[in-house]
Amino acid sequence: MNAFDFQAAAFRQAAQPRSVTDQRRAQYTNEAVLSATPAQLVTMLYDRLLLDLHRAEAAQNTADWEAAREQLLHAQAIVGELSSTLRIDAWDGGEGLMAIYNYASTSLITANVHRDVQATRDCIRILEPLRQSWHEAAASLPAVTSTQRPAGGALGVA
């Protein structure tokens, strides 16, 4: 399974249906993932990562530790996926981005274990500009159809 397939599987898993509305939402998400370019998948991961972080922060602020834990664990999984598919040798900024992912991963663990809302906020602060940058980069690329999609490596991801 290549990184693209793994990312697609992660999105499908996150959309497990619970009701008819959830089933429709899951189908829409599945179709969006399957038709997405590698750049769009990265932006989708960042969007979900920041959603998880904001939900975790809200749960921490209300002392809903179970909900915070769930959101932080999902955020950790996304950061893990982003770092595992990053090809640091593909571009000059790769090592710096990996350092950010490592910092975010450590901060997410701290946020979860110590119920530290400031650690969650720090992750939001450092990852939000990256999310915006990936969206700008993805928007500047020409559209690629699913039949033209490379086996991996677009935008420094495997």
From 57-66, 75-84, 145-154, the region with the lowest mean pLDDT: 145-154
Q: What is the residue extent of each domain of the chain?
A: 1-36, 38-142
Of 121, 125, 117, give the one whose Cα is nearest residue 63: 117
Rounded to whole angstroms, the Cα distance separating 133 from 114 reads 30
pLDDT score for 1: 57
pTM (predicted TM-score): 0.76
* Structure tokens that stand for 133 in this block: 């940058």
Q: 99 and 105 in contact (C-beta within 8 Å)?
A: no
pLDDT score for 46: 98
Q: Does domain 38-142 have CATH number 3.40.50.1820?
A: no
pLDDT tens-digit map of 73-97: 999 999 999 999 999 999 899 999 9
pLDDT score for 153: 44
